Structure 1
């Protein structure tokens, strides 16, 4: 499989001698060499963004002020870490603060000659950034997890819930489930989960017995679970909710006396207390492998002094794929967008991923099961894409 492999240099711990081999990160952005995290200031100007003859210009558009600044800081730090860990010499990454205006950040990014945009973080900013970037033929790799914004010059790097639901439904079907029900929250996430559930069940030839929606609170989800339990006739139930509320719904289902395969979503990943939740014993959910994440998190904390937000791994992986493609990208030329759709895909912190025609990152997911106070892997993630 083509892609980037993880060598000993990747995730090197802080304090090790790692030379950046001339890879410049523009001053006054957060993608500076590791040190006490600098406070964000104004973006680059002609005075601080020198001419490049050997480096590709890449823009990072993330919030560096306001309420989402800590998340943006993690993404910025993670891109720096990827540059340092790989000893890159041909990328210049400049950070632009979207909190002060995503449109202005995008305009400055393309005016400064950046040929690729990593970001923005939130879906509400994707459209305006993409429109401005399109005028200069600059592709956008967003950290959003909304598949609806993909297409054209926009590629979605985030983990989309639809893939987790599909993987779990296929696993449940392969293990004897045929009749499905679902408890779905109101709102955008619920709409996406419901569409993915219905498509996935149809895809395996299963039957949908019942679907109930609810508002995201204790009383509403319990009522929805009671209605589903009264409907009966199903052997697998999707609860498209985080583990706390899902446990309340599962408790209502357990009382009906018929064995039911509870299916969770990617929202359960990384929840430390989930294994001790009795009503979720036997439940399954799908997520990317955590095999490399802890190494990444430990290295990040050693370098920057605090734990990263989990989304930081997307910033790291975005740099890895850019470096992989840079071998076929001439400095000063447009980014070779077609290279993002390599059949073999890429390898990152979360394992294999690739962009299909839709522009959404397809990821290799594993299925996990909660059993006897532990979370175990019952179906490992593929190590490569076979088709």
Structure 2
């Protein structure tokens, strides 16, 4: 996961405008339909809450195109260039820059990167995906927005070409479509595993009454069930100041009646987090005795770490050392800081390069993409799962004296500590 955060109310991840009826049917029963949000950029609140409009027909699955190791491997990069949206142009440039930086690091592996603009449109994404396959692409990297990624994957499924999308929307994953963006499930798993080890596994989940909040609730409850924790209560609040204030007495009651050891919040720093962490201690639930845990990044923006209520709180983040190294290298190469999701393009190329270096003709098959050892990305290790989602190595951090302190390092290999 990466150093970025945008208000979830303004932009529900980069999931875009989706077919909600299809999406919500695939979520936990507790999630009920809400009006969808306009497409935004990316948020750490990985939202598996909106689905694409057309499911991928897995009966069309075919063998991936064979790799000819005597020639550069054609890789199509689909970026939101041409949408007339200034932020899309910035994002498109950043993704291409990161991809080319990754190619430069591959050594003897030759990648023929071919960049196509989707204009931020599902229809255009389909057209350019077909064109890319016609041009000889062996794999597609991108697009960003979930409905675009789904559209591209559906139209090329019969060709066997796999798609590594920059989306964090788990509901579109599957078939020939893999998502590279970090997910709620991944973050919730990492934090609940750590909480259980620290005897903080009896938790009250506090979530907002919106799509993001309900998706977060589902992820946390699922992670608790998988990792030996217990949800002793689940309290919702409206996405408003008054809604948060009304929920506080219920949260306090749930903590006390359930002998909760922790409170796991879905709120982000642009939403209810500052108010919750102010009011709960005032109501008698001190972070010194009841561990506060966050599903989102609590260090972005950096001023969040100054809030009295977040002191001692836990959250997950990517390997800080590796993230800093990528930011430094990108800035040196391009004279500007990387876009928050630019690293996903680097990760995609890194994975492709690692597989192609094996010399196998089936290097870009589903079986190869989902090999258990995973890959090394700019923010740490990651691997693609057979269901099209991903798993990333995360660190657990705590805010102490207004500083972010890693209390459980990100794993450097799958199967070790942290997994």
TM-score normalised by the chain length of structure 2: 0.75
Match of 1:196 in 2: 219
CA distance in 2, matches of 1:176, 1:314: 34
TM-score normalised by the chain length of structure 1: 0.81
CA distance in 2, matches of 1:339, 1:315: 19
Match of 2:290 in 1: 260
* Aligned residue among 236, 244, 262 for 2:262: 236
Which runs of at least 4 in structure 1 moved beyond 4 Å after TM superposition? none
Match of 1:48 in 2: none
Structural mapping, 1:87-126, within 5 Å: 87=107, 90-99=110-119, 101-126=124-149
SS at match of 1:292: helix
Displacement of 1:270:
4.5
Match of 1:364 in 2: 393
Distance 1:270 1:295, change over 3 A: farther
Displacement of 1:246:
0.7
CA distance in 2, matches of 1:249, 1:309: 30
Match of 2:60 in 1: none
Larger deviation: 259-268 or 129-138? 259-268
* Aligned residue among 344, 355, 370 for 1:314: 344
CA distance in 2, matches of 1:206, 1:305: 46
* Aligned residue among 303, 326, 337 for 1:296: 326
SS at match of 1:322: helix
Displacement of 1:373:
1.6
Asked if the contact 2:383/2:390 (under 8 Å) is kept, the reply is yes
Match of 1:280 in 2: 310
Structural mapping, 1:1-387, within 5 Å: 54-66=71-83, 67=85, 68-87=88-107, 90-99=110-119, 101-233=124-256, 234-244=260-270, 245-258=272-285, 259-268=289-298, 270-329=300-359, 335-386=364-415
Asked if the contact 1:183/1:224 (under 8 Å) is kept, the reply is no
Asked if the contact 2:210/2:239 (under 8 Å) is kept, the reply is no
Distance 1:89 1:354, change over 3 A: closer
Displacement of 1:89:
5.1
Displacement of 1:53:
6.0
Larger deviation: 277-286 or 60-69? 60-69
Identify unmatched segments of 5+ residues in structure 2: 1-68
Distance 1:268 1:209, change over 3 A: same
Displacement of 1:252:
1.6
Asked if the contact 2:149/2:165 (under 8 Å) is kept, the reply is yes
How many residues were matched structurally? 336
SS at match of 1:60: strand
